[in-house]
């Protein structure tokens, strides 16, 4: 039986970043730093203008400086 290796550990380059998985119709999922205590939170947002404004507020509350976006739809 093969021994499994430990998961990769990545060096932290920048702390205040978030990742967004953009959906075409339903929801966008955002992962960003917690406001306090370290770690991260994941939140779902709709695709309407009010929901995008709520997402912006959520990111600002966490002092996010950079965002990486991913989308696999057409």
Neighbouring residues of 36: CB distance < 8 A, sequence distance ≥ 6: none
Give domain status of residue 70, yes or no. Answer: no
Torsion of CA 57, 63, 68, 73, to 10 degrees: -10
Pairwise CA distance, residues 40 & 42, whole Å: 7
Domain that residue 32 falls in: 18-42
List, for residues 18-35, the tens digit of each pLDDT value: 999 987 678 999 999 998
Give domain status of residue 37, yes or no. Answer: yes
- Evaluate whether 1 touches 48 at the Cβ level (below 8 Å): no
Give domain status of residue 74, yes or no. Answer: no
List, for residues 28-71, the tens digit of each pLDDT value: 999 999 988 788 999 999 999 999 999 999 999 999 999 999 87
- Evaluate whether 64 touches 18 at the Cβ level (below 8 Å): yes
Give domain status of residue 34, yes or no. Answer: yes
Give domain status of residue 57, yes or no. Answer: no
């Amino acid at each position: 039986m093969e021994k499994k290796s430990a998961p990769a550990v990545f060096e932290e380059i920048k702390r205040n970043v978030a990742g967004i998985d953009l959906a075409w119709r339903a929801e966008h999922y955002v992962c960003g730093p917690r406001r306090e205590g370290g770690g991260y939170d994941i939140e779902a947002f709709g695709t309407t203008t009010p929901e995008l404004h709520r997402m912006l507020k959520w990111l600002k509350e966490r002092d996010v400086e950079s965002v990486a976006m991913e989308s696999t739809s057409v």
